[in-house]
Structure 1
Amino acid sequence: MGVEEELLLVSAAGQPLPQGKEVAAETEGVDVELELTRAQVETNSPVCETSDELYEQLTAMRAELAAAAAAKGGRLLAIAAPPTGEAAHLVTRKPRYQEMEERYGLLAQEQAVCGCHVHIDVPDREAAVRVSNHLRPWLPSLLALSANSAVYLGADTRFASWRSIMWSRWPCVGQPPYFESAAHYDALVRTYVDSGSIMDERMVYWDVRPSSHLPTVEIRVSDVPLTVDETVLHATLVRALVMTALADGSLGPELQPEVLRAAYWLAAKDGLTGNNLNVLKAEVLPIELVLRLLVDHVRPALELLGEVERVETTIDRLLREGNGAVRQRKALREGDDVVALTEIRP
């Protein structure tokens, strides 16, 4: 497995800092990519065999990038939407991103939002498509766990994941369709490209997709989590879901699209603080019980990985103490600094 974390750069005063290129140049030994806006950077972990290895890599990469930001007079935040500043941001000076700004205008300029993407090795594209079908019922749960964008531009949005609401405006985004084969996937992507809705396959922003350049399936549903523990939890659950799907071998369950959409919306709105849906049965349940269903679904895979205790302990702590969204909202309500709460220290 491998993990990409998109992180936000801000000034000493907490305003978005358009210095992504300069900060990336300061890093040593860390794979850093520039993102759509100049106030974002992305770390790419090496391929990891275990969750412990992933934890060590993410911790080191966050610290190195935070030190690079500090060297440029900035701060690095693990937050999925800017907590202060203005809505529009400077777009990174790369030909691809400049073309996106030309085509999509303000939509591109307002996308200083930060996600977490997990890559899991799969045998081939047919397997990746089957995995996508199997993961669809559990994507809202993964979003609820990782939600980390309740505060946007100084205001409580009343959503746990405002990033997912902002991101949903792109033409090929969110819950992936149910696919019967890789050929079915490719045909639909060609329709999007040929119509001009998207520039190319890289703009397929569904929350699960076969990677366009790696032998992996990529899961993109998550806000960037507040802590490394939460990112490792997310990646471990994703890995277990992929293992479970591959072991099943079928095309996966078909769902009522409206029920899945409702579960997504509830996850973005309430995160870990309300109800959600058992999508397989269209059954309303407290989010705690929905998460228990998820863990039970992947328990055999977690047992093979030796990760049952890590997953259950971390979920219990998040339900008790809150994830990033809960903690952001609490800080704002009590007059504390959301920037300081989400800052990564060198």
Structure 2
Amino acid sequence: MATSVTVGVEEEFLLVDPVTGAPVPKNAEVAQTAEEGGVDLQLELTSCQVETSTDVHSDTAALLKELAQLRRDVAVCAERNDARLLAVAIPPTVPERFPVTDTPRYQRIAREFGMLASEQGLSGCHVHVGVPDREVAVQVSNHLRPWLPVCLALTANSSIYHGAETGYASWRSILWRRWPSAGPPPYFDSLDDYEAMVEMLLSSGNILDRKMVYWDIRPSDSFPTVEVRVSDVPATIAESALLATLVQAAAMTALESIEKGERAPQVPAEVLRAAYWNAARSGLDGNGLDPVTRRVAPVRALIAGLRRHTEAALDELGARSFVDETIDSVLRRGNGARRQTLALRARGDVADVINELATATLEGCS
């Protein structure tokens, strides 16, 4: 097995009114309060969102501890500005438009992409895993590519929108793919192949800068990492740590395959998109599609397949027990999407969804 790789996590959150649950444009105020308290928060595209970033970790327990600390601290900063922090991938109740954050870059995106920016408010979770160089990053991305739908299904957390059921566990995934550079990543033969595609997107105006390469896995331009971006922001810190650990183990498994000269399966884009749709639609429940074998299987079986695929790496990380226990807990209790849906069905009141999400956001953080 390849040497353990490091991992870091970025989580995007929604700021909402503590009474109505509607998104509130207070990210600058919350970030200022956080800065005064020694917490670094990033502003997102809409002024209703903030993002946290962990340090680099190799140990799941340390990562989980920092995720808890960050959510707890930011929730306090939000409360001090009369807002509530929610780990949710789309707002359950929304305004007609989202105010775009007042920075030159975000305002330019708003001008160029219109309603794609002002109807945003989508929050994801990004997992960075360390790799030797960008050429290796492209090959690791190819190996992780078929597992992205499973990661999406496991962490889906956006089933309620405009106060109603969307019929999807991850409505964020469906909306996000409207951007020209978002969604399932292409298969790239080399770093040169990847760079040529990025240059085409830039020259054609499909993206304004390299940060707008929104594919669900990509070599990072800022760090020596592969960045996995497929997931909704998970409802709980345990689910975020589970996602990060599975991605970390899958990257280790990919590095071992690359060292052996094994190429990743070249899953056609159409097949991967079909698997994505199944994952976004079903979440944990029902069937999914294995993009390699093209066979329909219960989502639980596909999750078990990822667990088996990464078993040796999980043992090396000392994370097998955590992963097994957390997967079992999520399958039994439900991910954020299932929890949202059950909360709404109980009384038909979106306020119950907001309360369920607020509870899940800080679950395990005290």
Give TM class, smaller chain. over 0.9
Q: CA deviation at 1:261?
A: 1.1
Query: Where does structure 2 lack aligned partners over 5 or more consecutive residues?
Result: 1-6
| Paired AA for residue 156 in structure 1 | E
2:72 pairs with 1:63: yes
Instruction: Report the Cα distance in structure 1 between the residues aligned to 2:121 and 2:94, rounded to whole angstroms.
Output: 11
Instruction: Report the Cα distance in structure 1 between the residues aligned to 2:48 and 2:151, rounded to whole angstroms.
Output: 26
Query: Where does structure 1 lack aligned partners over 5 or more consecutive residues?
Result: none
Name the TM-score, length of structure 1 as normaliser: 0.98
- The answer on whether the counterparts of 1:8 and 1:40 sit within 8 Å (CA) in structure 2 is yes
Q: Residue deviations 1:78-135, cap 9 Å, x none? A: 1110011224200000000000000011110111010000111100001100011001
Q: CA deviation at 1:208?
A: 0.5
Instruction: Report the Cα distance in structure 1 between the residues aligned to 2:122 and 2:111, rounded to whole angstroms.
Output: 19
| Paired AA for residue 9 in structure 1 | L
Q: Where does structure 1 differ by over 4 angstroms across 4 or more consecutive aligned residues? A: none
Instruction: Report the Cα distance in structure 1 between the residues aligned to 2:297 and 2:128, rounded to whole angstroms.
Output: 30
1:11-50 maps to which residues of 2 (within 5 A)? 11-13=17-19, 14-27=21-34, 28-50=37-59
1:328-339 maps to which residues of 2 (within 5 A)? 328-335=340-347, 337-339=352-354
Instruction: Report the Cα distance in structure 2 between the residues aligned to 1:11 and 1:228, rounded to whole angstroms.
Output: 22
- The answer on whether the counterparts of 1:31 and 1:45 sit within 8 Å (CA) in structure 2 is no
Match of 2:13 in 1: 7
- The answer on whether the counterparts of 1:87 and 1:153 sit within 8 Å (CA) in structure 2 is no
Q: 1:152 aligns with which of 133, 148, 161?
A: 161
Match of 1:274 in 2: 286
Match of 1:188 in 2: 197
Q: CA deviation at 1:31?
A: 2.1
Instruction: Report the Cα distance in structure 1 between the residues aligned to 2:205 and 2:127, rounded to whole angstroms.
Output: 28
Instruction: Report the Cα distance in structure 1 between the residues aligned to 2:226 and 2:139, rounded to whole angstroms.
Output: 10
2:298 pairs with 1:286: yes
Instruction: Report the Cα distance in structure 2 between the residues aligned to 1:233 and 1:29, rounded to whole angstroms.
Output: 27
Match of 2:3 in 1: none
Match of 1:237 in 2: 246
Q: 1:86 aligns with which of 79, 95, 99?
A: 95
2:236 pairs with 1:227: yes
2:301 pairs with 1:295: no
Q: Residue deviations 1:224-257, cap 9 Å, x none? A: 0000000000000000011111111133111132
Instruction: Report the Cα distance in structure 2 between the residues aligned to 1:19 and 1:206, rounded to whole angstroms.
Output: 28
Identity of aligned residues (%): 51
Name the TM-score, length of structure 2 as normaliser: 0.93
- The answer on whether the counterparts of 1:81 and 1:113 sit within 8 Å (CA) in structure 2 is yes
Instruction: Report the Cα distance in structure 2 between the residues aligned to 1:198 and 1:259, rounded to whole angstroms.
Output: 25
Match of 2:319 in 1: 307
Which range moved further: 81-90 or 135-144?
81-90
Instruction: Report the Cα distance in structure 2 between the residues aligned to 1:241 and 1:87, rounded to whole angstroms.
Output: 40
Indicate the RMSD between aligned Cα atoms, in angstroms. 1.0
Secondary structure, aligned partner of 1:205? coil
Secondary structure, aligned partner of 1:123? coil
Instruction: Report the Cα distance in structure 1 between the residues aligned to 2:94 and 2:30, rounded to whole angstroms.
Output: 20
Match of 1:321 in 2: 333
Match of 1:258 in 2: 270
1:116-127 maps to which residues of 2 (within 5 A)? 116-127=125-136
Secondary structure, aligned partner of 1:279? coil
Secondary structure, aligned partner of 1:148? coil
Match of 1:340 in 2: 355
Q: CA deviation at 1:30?
A: 2.1
